[in-house]
């Protein structure tokens, strides 16, 4: 039963939560439930001074649901809604560079009408 509950809890975790516009840090987080498959999620917000702030907030939110988190890396997101463009780039000093290609695929699913690009350059 716990594996079923973990899978249900995991399915309720949004794949992408990012600010509606601006340039901000993001982390790619692997979320796991007991006996359930893992899922990678994107979290990016302007309030975060450090990538660790984003990761810790995510872990704190998901822990009560029996889900554990591992940070796969970070970077930055430039979100320009008026142009329908998102650019993913850079890295996290503490966590290293996230796989921006994975992040981009997740963003494309959430923003299908956007032009979404990524680059390893930049900080």
Is 25 within any annotated ligand binding site?
yes
Ramachandran class of 73: left when φ > 0, alpha when ψ lies in -120 to 50, beta otherwise: left
Question: Does the model's pTM come out above 0.75?
Answer: yes
Give dist(CA 6, CA 73) in Å, integer: 24
Beta bridge partners of residue 24, listed in sequence order:
77
Contacts of 101 (CB under 8 A, 6+ apart): 118
Domain that holds residue 83: 1-119
- The answer, yes or no, to whether residue 123 has pLDDT greater than 60, is no
Dist CA 39 CA 27 (whole Å):
14
Q: Which residues contact 104 (CB under 8 A, 6 or more apart)?
A: 88, 116, 117, 118
Q: Is 71 exposed, middle or buried (0-12, 13-18, 19+ CB in 10 A)?
A: buried
Q: For 42-99, what is each residue's pLDDT tens digit?
A: 999 999 999 999 999 999 999 999 999 999 999 999 999 999 999 999 999 999 999 9
More confident position, 121 or 75: 75
Structure tokens of 22?
């601006």
Contact 29, 69 (CB under 8 A): yes
The CATH number for 32's domain is 3.50.20.20
As beta bridge partners, residue 68 has 32
Q: What is the pLDDT of residue 1?
A: 60
Structural domain count, the chain = 1
pLDDT of residue 122: 60
Catalytic residues: 51
């Amino acid at each position: 039963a716990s594996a079923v509950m973990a899978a249900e809890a995991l399915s309720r975790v949004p794949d992408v939560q990012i600010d509606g516009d601006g340039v901000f840090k993001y982390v790619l987080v692997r979320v796991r439930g007991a006996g359930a498959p893992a899922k990678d999620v994107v979290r990016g917000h302007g309030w975060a001074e450090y990538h660790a702030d984003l990761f810790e907030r995510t872990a704190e939110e998901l822990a009560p649901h029996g889900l554990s988190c591992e940070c796969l890396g970070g970077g930055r997101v430039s979100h320009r809604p008026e142009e329908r463009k998102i650019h993913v780039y850079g890295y996290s000093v503490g966590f290293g560079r996230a796989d921006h290609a994975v992040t981009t695929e997740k963003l494309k699913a959430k923003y299908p009408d956007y032009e979404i690009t990524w680059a390893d350059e930049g900080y």
